[in-house]
C-alpha cells in the first residue's frame, strides 16, 4: 500500500513530461477519491502556482476540474482535484479511430461552451487539445490541465511550456488572444475527424511544427463534408483577427448540430514518419519569414559560431517586440562593451515583463548606486518569477522583519533550485521564522540545507553538520 502526502494511491492514471497523475483516496472517512497531479520536477514550481491560481478562479465552472486543495511539502508539489472517471479523448481516438462528424461537433460544442464560461471569467486556457479532455463511458466530458492558462489581460506570449502541435501562430509572434484557444480547438477538431494532426506534423520537431502552423494552409480530406472543412479552416485562420470568434463558432456549431453531416468516420490513419528539415533549417526559414520566435531561436543557434548573424536576428525579433530576444540582444551588447545599447534593450525587455531583463537592469542600476531604480526592478523581477531577484528582495524584507513575504519569496526561489535561497529558507526554519504546517522547524531546516548542500553551498554544509551533531547528542 503506497501513500502520497497522506492519501492512499489507488492507481497511476497518466504520466507525462511535467507531471504524473494518480487516483488517490483519503486514508480516513469519508474516503473520498481525488485526482492527484504530482509535478515530476519541483523546479516547475511557477507552473504549479499558476495552475493552482487558475483552477481556483475557474472552480465551480461546469465542465472543468474542481480544485480541492494544493499541497506544497518538501519534494512534493501536488494539486488535488475531484476525481473524474474517464480517459483522455486522444487515447480513445488513437485506439478506436476518428469520430463521425456529428459526434465531433457534439464534443467541440461542449469545449466551446466551456471556453465561453472561462473567457467570461477572464481566463484563457491556452492548452486545448484532445489529451486534455476526459471522456467517460457515458460520453460526459471534462476539460483539464490549466498549467499554462493565463488571465486574459496578459496578452504577451513567450511560447514557454506549450504543445507546439496545437499552438496558435500569433503566439510565435509574441502575443495571444481569446481566439488562440479557437485555433487550438480547430486543430483538436481536425484530430477528432481525421485521427491525425494537420500538416503531417505528428512525428516532427517543434521547429517544424511552428513553421507549418505559421506558414502552411491546412489541407483536409475530400471525404469530409463541405461544412466540416469550412469550419476547420475558419478556426485555423493564420491571422487571429480573421479567425472565427467564439460567439460565431458556437452559433455555427449549433447550426451544424441540426443539418446533415458525414455519419461515416474516416478510416484509422497510418502515421508514418516523414523526412523533414533539421531544427536549424526550420528556424532559419521561420526567421526569414519574419516570425519573431523563429528569429530568436535561430539567433540562439548562431550565437557561438557567428555573433554578427546572431546580433542581426536578435535585433529583428527585438524590434518586433519579442522580449526574450530583447534581453539576449542586451546581453550580447554588454559582451561587446556597448552599455548604452544594452541598457536600451534591457529597458525594453523589462517594460515588456521579461524577468531576466528586469533583473539585469536592476543589477546595472545597483552598480551605479541608483538604489531606488534598482529596488524597483528587483521587485518587478521577483514578481515575474526570477529566482535571484526573489532571493535579493527576500533578504531586504527579512532585514525589515517582514517575515511572511520574505518566506514566500525564499520558498519560490528555493523550489526553482536557487541554492542561496534554499540556504536562506533553511535559516528561516531554523530560527523559527517560517510556518511549518505541522512539520518541525528543525526537519524543514535540514531538508533545505540538504538541498543547498547538494549544490555545494558551503554554509549549508556547515549548518547541516551542526544540526546532525546536535541530533546525535540528543
Residue pLDDT, tens place only, 407-437:
999 999 999 999 999 999 999 999 999 988 7
Q: With pLDDT > 90 as the criterion, what percentage of the chain qualifies?
A: 85
Cα 184 to Cα 111: distance, rounded to the nearest angstrom: 11
Please check whether residues 203 and 303 belong to one and the same domain: no
Give the pLDDT of residue 15. 85
Please check whether residues 351 and 364 belong to one and the same domain: yes
- Overall domain count for the chain: 4
- On whether residue 196 sits in a domain, the answer given is yes
Cα 322 to Cα 299: distance, rounded to the nearest angstrom: 13
- On whether residue 264 sits in a domain, the answer given is no
Please check whether residues 340 and 245 belong to one and the same domain: no
Summarize pLDDT for 222-242 with one digit per residue, the tens. Answer: 999 999 999 999 999 999 999
Is the pLDDT reported for residue 470 higher than 70?
yes
Q: Compute the half-sphere exposure of residue 125: CA atoms within 13 Å on the CB side of its CA.
A: 28
Please check whether residues 189 and 234 belong to one and the same domain: yes
- On whether residue 271 sits in a domain, the answer given is no
Q: 371: domain CATH number?
A: 1.25.40.10
Strand partners, 170: none
Rg over CA atoms, the chain: 25
Is the pLDDT reported for residue 159 higher than 80?
no
Please check whether residues 371 and 392 belong to one and the same domain: no
Please check whether residues 190 and 251 belong to one and the same domain: yes
Q: 74: domain CATH number?
A: 3.30.200.20
Range of the domain at 454: 387-474
Please check whether residues 101 and 215 belong to one and the same domain: yes
Which residue, among 370, 366, 360, has the nearest Cα to 335 in the 3D structure?
360
- On whether residue 275 sits in a domain, the answer given is no
Mean pLDDT in the chain?
94
Give the pLDDT band of residue 335 (cuts 50, 70, 90): very high
Summarize pLDDT for 21-70 with one digit per residue, the tens. Answer: 999 999 999 999 999 999 999 999 988 998 999 999 998 999 998 999 99
Please check whether residues 197 and 101 belong to one and the same domain: yes
Give the pLDDT band of residue 270 (cuts 50, 70, 90): confident
Mean pLDDT of 137-156: 89
Please check whether residues 229 and 94 belong to one and the same domain: yes
Give the pLDDT of residue 134. 95
Residue 23, Ramachandran bin (φ over 0: left; ψ between -120 and 50: alpha; else beta): beta
Please check whether residues 370 and 446 belong to one and the same domain: no
- On whether residue 269 sits in a domain, the answer given is no
Q: In whole angstroms, how far apart are CA 239 and each of 25, 177, 179, 242, 330? A: 46, 11, 10, 5, 30
Please check whether residues 110 and 169 belong to one and the same domain: yes
- On whether residue 276 sits in a domain, the answer given is no
pTM of the model: 0.92
- On whether residue 409 sits in a domain, the answer given is yes
Select from 43, 59, 82 the last residue of a domain: 82
Please check whether residues 151 and 219 belong to one and the same domain: yes
Give the pLDDT of residue 261. 87
- On whether residue 261 sits in a domain, the answer given is no
Amino acid at each position: 500500500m503506497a501513500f502520497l502526502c497522506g492519501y492512499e494511491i489507488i492507481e497511476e492514471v497518466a504520466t507525462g513530461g511535467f507531471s504524473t497523475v494518480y487516483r488517490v483516496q483519503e486514508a480516513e472517512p469519508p474516503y473520498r477519491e481525488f485526482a492527484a497531479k504530482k509535478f515530476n520536477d519541483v523546479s516547475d514550481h511557477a507552473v504549479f502556482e499558476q495552475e493552482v491560481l487558475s483552477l481556483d478562479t475557474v472552480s465551480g465552472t461546469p465542465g472543468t476540474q474542481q480544485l480541492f486543495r494544493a499541497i506544497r511539502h518538501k519534494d512534493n508539489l501536488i494539486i488535488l482535484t475531484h476525481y473524474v472517471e474517464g480517459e483522455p479523448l486522444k487515447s480513445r481516438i488513437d485506439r478506436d479511430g476518428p469520430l463521425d462528424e456529428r459526434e465531433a461537433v457534439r464534443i467541440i460544442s461542449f469545449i466551446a461552451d466551456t471556453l465561453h464560461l472561462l473567457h467570461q471569467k477572464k481566463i484563457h486556457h491556452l492548452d486545448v487539445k484532445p489529451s486534455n479532455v476526459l471522456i467517460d463511458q457515458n460520453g460526459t466530458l471534462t476539460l483539464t490541465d490549466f498549467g499554462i492558462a493565463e488571465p486574459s489581460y496578459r496578452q504577451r506570449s513567450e511560447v514557454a511550456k506549450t504543445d507546439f502541435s496545437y499552438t496558435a501562430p500569433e503566439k510565435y509572434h509574441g502575443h495571444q488572444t481569446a481566439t488562440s484557444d479557437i485555433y487550438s480547438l480547430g486543430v483538436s477538431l481536425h484530430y477528432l475527424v481525421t485521427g491525425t494532426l494537420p500538416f503531417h506534423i505528428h512525428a516532427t520537431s517543434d521547429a517544424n511544427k511552428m513553421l507549418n502552423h505559421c506558414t502552411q494552409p491546412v489541407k483536409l480530406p475530400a471525404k469530409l463534408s463541405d461544412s466540416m472543412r469550412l469550419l476547420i479552416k475558419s478556426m485555423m485562420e493564420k491571422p487571429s483577427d480573421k479567425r472565427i470568434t467564439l460567439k460565431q463558432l458556437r452559433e455555427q456549431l449549433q447550426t451544424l448540430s441540426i443539418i446533415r453531416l458525414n455519419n461515416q468516420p474516416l478510416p484509422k490513419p497510418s502515421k508514418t514518419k516523414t523526412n523533414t528539415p533539421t531544427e536549424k533549417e526550420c528556424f532559419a526559414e521561420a526567421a526569414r519569414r519574419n516570425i519573431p520566435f523563429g528569429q530568436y531561436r535561430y539567433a540562439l543557434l548562431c550565437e557561438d559560431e557567428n555573433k554578427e548573424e546572431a546580433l542581426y536576428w536578435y535585433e529583428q525579433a527585438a524590434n518586433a517586440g519579442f522580449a526574450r530576444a530583447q534581453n539576449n540582444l542586451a546581453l550580447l551588447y554588454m559582451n561587446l562593451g556597448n552599455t548604452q545599447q544594452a541598457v536600451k534593450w534591457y529597458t525594453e525587455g523589462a517594460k515588456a515583463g521579461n524577468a531576466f531583463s528586469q533583473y539585469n537592469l536592476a543589477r546595472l542600476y545597483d552598480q551605479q548606486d541608483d538604489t531606488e531604480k534598482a529596488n524597483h526592478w528587483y521587485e518587478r523581477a521577483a514578481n515575474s518569477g526570477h529566482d535571484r531577484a526573489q532571493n535579493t528582495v527576500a533578504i531586504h524584507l527579512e532585514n525589515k522583519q517582514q517575515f511572511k513575504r520574505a518566506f514566500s519569496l525564499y520558498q519560490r526561489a528555493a523550489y526553482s533550485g536557487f541554492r542561496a535561497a534554499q540556504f536562506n529558507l533553511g535559516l528561516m526554519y531554523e530560527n523559527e521564522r517560517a510556518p511549518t504546517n505541522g512539520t518541525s522547524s528543525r526537519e524543514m531546516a535540514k531538508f533545505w540545507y540538504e538541498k543547498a548542500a547538494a549544490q555545494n553551498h558551503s554554509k549549508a554544509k556547515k549548518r547541516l553538520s551542526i544540526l546532525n551533531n546536535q541530533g546525535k547528542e540528543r
